[in-house]
Amino acid sequence: MDYFLSEEQQMIVDVARQITDEMIVPQRAELDETEDYPRDILNAIAKADLYGLYIPEEYGGLGGGCFDIVLALEQFARGCTGVATAFAASALGAYPILISGSEELKQKYMPLIASGEKLAAFALTEANAGSDASGIQTTAVLDGDEWILNGTKQWITNAGEAQIYTVIAITDKSKGPRGATMFVVEDTDPGFSYGVKEKKLGIRCSSTRELIFKDCRIPKDRVIGRIGMGFITVMKTLDQSRPGIAILGVGLGQGALDEAVTYAKQRVQFGKPIISFQAVQHILADMAIQVEAGRALVYSAAKHIDAHKNDMSKASSMCKVFATDMAMKVTVDAVQVLAGYGYMRDYPVEKMMRDAKILQIYEGTNQIQRNVIGQELNKEYMRSS
Amino acid sequence: MKIIVCVKQVPDAKDVRLDPKTNTLSREGVQAIMNPYDRHALEEAVRLKEQHGGTVTVLSMGPPQAEEMLREAVSCGADEAVLVSDRAFAGADTWATTYTLSQAIKKIDDFDLILCGKQAIDGDTAQVGPGLAERLDIPFVAYVRKINECTANTIQAERLMDDGYDLVEVPLPALFTVVKEINEPRIPSLKGKMKAKKIDITKLTAVDIEADLEQLGLKGSTTQVVKVFSPELKGARAMLGGTASEQVDQLYEKLSPLL
């Protein structure tokens, strides 16, 4: 369907599509097998200026918004959700600085992130703090001109690959939700190290590791925003970033649909291509409807977010839930259309199905997203009644 | 460093058809692309610019639609684009083409290095690079697979040979033709695409380059294509047996009558 993109937006799609078709698609199976981080692809993305899509021009970016990065991510995810995740993780790590950081922090870090010279990562999750972020146990204590961090972050995307980490830690336990603060930690900071690389079901080429802080000392001015405002920054970051996960579902769903239709046209059974059978046609038709509906919702949510900075949560959560649940269903259906061949690693759909599952889990499980939507509905209807 | 890259628009090799009646290339509906070897020449020029500073100008002789390819070259890092286009150029062979390009380059005047692809995938002559160097009376190195060193006055390169490579150093200005081994061409950048959309392409006609009309196009061409045809496959073949040395003897015997 035609979404009437501007000329600039179409250019973003074209550049991202070329990288996807020429670099990501040919390498994805091997990357899935070796679990190697896709450095050369990410370098090409950096050279093509796409790391700066959502970053204001005064910090070396292209000055676009949520919708612009969504257009690039859709293409990457059509090729490989692992590569797309590795790319998106840097944006997730950058948002806290963009949203709440001081002018000095923005000047220092954003140009490096916009050029792709340095990668960022976002560190919230811990062993006892997933959906319930209030379980955070990592602490930060002020000691003269330095903060001392102690604790372990878990399942951090881009860990070990990024140079700039935005980390939430408890600065005053007695203040509850108002007692957490975000910091920038650099890979070279003393007392900072990584745990082993996790072995995952899907998105295997993206790096997932622990961050370990043992008396990690960082300069005082690395606080993002005000002390005690960490949770607010985290929530705003996730509202902003979630359409980026939603669109991975759309891209992935499109990739699965493309594979399924191509296969159904070639595969002959009972003397006919299987696409001529209504049973197969209906599966493909439902896949196409779902993918297009997902795309329409994510594009609309992204545009809404770009226009309404103070009213993002519901749109952001709705598109994340719909598009990622859709990706799970559509990729399972793609495997069904390819049947025995689909189950084999010779075709990309089994990888797509494995990759899809994480989309329903990370950056807030889809159950948590429904909580958010429910709470927003409650607020909205209170106002109107 | 000022670098000129000569680029040519060619039919996409994935999609080549012969017109069965005329036996000439059917260009209708065939997508035109930048000659793949020229893409490597452009990439090398952009890399040299990134290392040493300077500018990259892409130059093409061709019909007005070659403008699209020149814009693509700008999106991949070229700073300026020049299209030499005139009906008088139609039907040019490599002799007339090198004359036309040399006149255009004399018009551009200021350059340190000219890079071309080793050949175009349509004509496959590999003559325009060396011919152009001869016309401009500058040193020429073919099949460059690597540029090692570049100073203000000299440039050193590796020339790919069947059995290894030659290390060649020449004074600047010079002309190199490059092989695909030299680099991996980049994908256009977003800022490059935005620049390419806006850039003014310099358009030069036969009059602008002060060309002698007698030396242009079909009139100025020393080769005339009489017929293009697909060779018939005769199917006759012979397998040689025995040791390598015996096979060479047998081959020599078979080939000798043809010499």
Q: What is the pLDDT of residue B219?
A: 86
Cβ–Cβ below 8 Å for A47 and B191 = no
Q: How confident is the model at residue B122 (pLDDT cuts 50, 70, 90)?
A: confident
Between B15 and A37, the more confident residue is: A37
Backbone phi, psi, residue A271, to 5°: 80, 5
| Residue owning tokens 């290894």 | B164
Give the chain B residue whose CA is nearest to the CA of A68.
Answer: B190
Chain B residues within 8 A of A72 when measuring between CB atoms: none
**Using CA atoms, how far apart are residues A109 and A91, in angstroms rounded to an integer?**
12
Provide the residue count of chain B: 259
Chain segment A280-328, per-residue pLDDT in tens: 999 999 999 999 999 999 999 999 999 998 889 999 999 999 999 999 9
Confidence band of B24 (pLDDT split at 50, 70, 90): low
Shortest distance, CA B192 to any CA of chain A (angstroms): 8
Which residues of chain B neighbour A8 with C-beta distances below 8 Å? 194
Candidates B187, B191, B197; nearest CB to A19: B187
Backbone angles phi, psi at A165, to 5 degrees: -120, 130
Quick one: pLDDT at residue B123?
81
Asked if residues B150 and B52 have their Cβ atoms less than 8 Å apart, the reply is yes
Which pLDDT score, from 0 to 100, does residue B124 have?
Answer: 84
Q: How confident is the model at residue B27 (pLDDT cuts 50, 70, 90)?
A: low
Map chain A to HEC letters. CCCCCCHHHHHHHHHHHHHHHHHHHHHHHHHHHHCCCCHHHHHHHHHCCHHHCCCCHHHCCCCCCHHHHHHHHHHHHHHCHHHHHHHHHHHHHHHHHHHHCCHHHHHHHHHHHHCCCCCEEEECCECCECCCHHHCCCEEEEECCEEEEEEEEEEEECCCCCCEEEEEEECCHHHHHHHEEEEEEECCCCCEEECCCCCCCCCCCCCEEEEEEEEEEEEHHHEECCCCCHHHHHHHHHHHHHHHHHHHHHHHHHHHHHHHHHHHHHCEECCEEHHHCHHHHHHHHHHHHHHHHHHHHHHHHHHHHHHCCCCCHHHHHHHHHHHHHHHHHHHHHHHHHHHHHHHCCCCCHHHHHHHHHHHCCCCCCHHHHHHHHHHHHHHHHHHHC
User: In chain A, which residues fall in CATH 2.40.110.10?
Assistant: 120-228
Nearest to A62 among B188, B190, B192 (CB): B190
**CB neighbourhood size of A22 (10 A):** 14
Calculate how close chain B gets to A48, using CA atoms only, in Å: 4
Backbone angles phi, psi at B188, to 5 degrees: -55, 145
Q: How far is B14 from chain A (nearest CA, A)?
A: 16
Min Cα–Cα distance to chain A from B193, Å: 7
Confidence of residue B25 (pLDDT cuts 50, 70, 90): low
Q: Least CA distance to B192: which residue of chain A?
A: A48
> Across all residues in chain A, what is the average pLDDT?
96
In chain B, which residues have their Cβ closer than 8 Å to the Cβ of A11? 190, 193-194, 197
Q: For the domain A120-228, what is the CATH superfamily, name and number?
A: Butyryl-CoA Dehydrogenase, subunit A, domain 2 (2.40.110.10)
Of B187, B189, B192, the CB nearest to A22: B187
Higher-confidence position of A176 and A147: A147
B contacts of A18 (beta carbons < 8 Å): 187-188
Cis peptide, bond prior to residue B20, ω within 30 of zero = no
Q: Give yes or no for residue B15 having a pLDDT over 90.
A: no
User: A18 and B187: CB-CB below 8 Å?
Assistant: yes
Tokens encoding A324: 């990622």
Residue A195 near residue A177 (C-beta atoms within 8 A):
no
Residues 6+ apart with CB under 8 A from A310: none
Between vectors from CA B19 to CA B13 and to CA B24, what angle results, nearest 5°? 75
pLDDT mean over A62-84 = 97
Per-residue pLDDT tens over the stretch B79-94: 999 999 999 998 888 9
How many Å apart are CA A301 and CA A312, to the nearest integer? 8
Torsion B84-B137-B177-A46 (CA) sign: negative
Instruction: Say which of B186, B187, B194 has its CB closest to residue A11.
Output: B194
Q: Measured at the alpha carbon of residue A220, what is the angle toward residues A214 and A226, in degrees to the nearest 5? A: 110
Q: How many CA atoms lie within 13 A of A24 on its CB side?
A: 31
Q: How far apart are CA B49 and CA B2, in angstroms?
A: 8
**Angstrom distances, CA of residue A175 to CA of A149, A170, A229, A230, B136:** 18, 9, 11, 12, 79
**Given this model, what pLDDT does residue A56 score?**
97
pLDDT at B22: 63
- Chain B interface includes A19 (CB < 8 A): yes
User: By C-alpha distance, which of B94, B101, B76, B62 is closest to B191?
Assistant: B76
A245 lies within 8 A of chain B by CB: no
Going by C-alpha positions, the residue among A122, A161, A186, A154 that lies closest to residue A35 is A161
> Nearest residue of B to residue A8 by CA position?
B194
Instruction: Write the pLDDT tens digit of every residue in B177-234.
Output: 999 999 999 999 999 999 999 999 999 999 999 999 899 988 888 887 777 777 777 7
- Put simply, whether B198 touches A (Cβ < 8 Å) is no
| Arithmetic mean of pLDDT, B8-22 | 77
Q: Does B23 touch chain A (CB under 8 A)?
A: no
A4: number of Cβ within 10 Å? 7
Just list the catalytic residues of A: 363
- Residue A245 clears pLDDT 90, i.e. is over it: yes
Tokens 């329903």 sit at which residue?
A360
- Determine what percent of chain A is predicted with pLDDT higher than 90: 95
pLDDT of residue A347: 97
Place of tokens 């075709």: A347
CATH number of the domain at A231-384, please? 1.20.140.10
Chain A nearest-CA distance from B188, in A, is 6
Domain B2-228 has CATH 3.40.50.620: yes
Tell me the DSSP string of B86-127.
-GGGTT--HHHHHHHHHHHHHHH---SEEEEES--TTT----
Nearest CA in chain B to A18: B187
A with B: how many residue pairs have Cβ under 8 Å apart? 36
Does residue B105 have a pLDDT over 90?
A: yes
- Tens digit of each residue's pLDDT (9 = 90 or more) over A119-170: 999 999 999 988 887 789 999 999 999 999 999 999 999 999 999 999 999 9
Q: Is B182 in a helix, a strand, or coil?
A: helix
- Range with lowest mean pLDDT among A90-94, A178-182, B221-225: B221-225
Are B190 and A50 inside 8 Å of each other by CB? yes
Q: Comparing C-alpha atoms, which of A284, A290, A276 is closest to residue A258? A: A284
- Tell me the pLDDT band of A254, cut-offs 50, 70 and 90: very high
What is the mean predicted confidence (pLDDT) over A12-23? 97
- Report the predicted TM-score, pTM, of the whole model to 2 decimal places: 0.87
For the ranges A162-171, A179-188, B239-248, the lowest mean pLDDT is seen at B239-248
Pairing of β B174-178 and β B202-204: unpaired
Verify whether the Cβ–Cβ distance B194 to A8 is below 8 Å.
Answer: yes
Average pLDDT on A251-280 reads: 98
| Minimum distance, in Å, between the CA of residue A47 and any CA atom of chain B | 6
Token match 């690039």: residue?
A72
Picking from B190, B191, B194, B197 by the largest number of A CB atoms within 10 A of its own CB, the best residue to mutate is: B190
User: For A18-56, how does the pLDDT look when each residue is reduced to its tens digit (9 = 90+)?
Assistant: 999 999 999 999 999 999 999 999 999 999 999 999 999
Q: Chain A within 8 Å of B193 (Cβ-Cβ)?
A: yes
- Comparing C-alpha atoms, which of B82, B71, B83, B62 is closest to residue B198? B71
Residue A209's pLDDT is: 98
- With contact defined as beta carbons under 8 Å apart, do B175 and B116 qualify? yes
- Does the pLDDT at position A191 exceed 90? yes
| Cβ within 8 Å of B, A 22-81 | 22-23, 44, 47-50, 53, 62
Question: Two tokens at A138?
Answer: 């990592």
Distance of CA B118 to the CA centre of its chain: 6
Task: For residue A124, give Cα distances in angstroms to A132, A183, B170, B171, B183.
Answer: 11, 11, 59, 59, 41
pLDDT exceeds cutoff 90 at A93: yes
User: B187, A12: Cβ pair inside 8 Å?
Assistant: no
- Whether residues A15 and B193 touch (CB distance < 8 A) is answered with yes
Its CATH class, for the domain covering A7-114, is mainly alpha
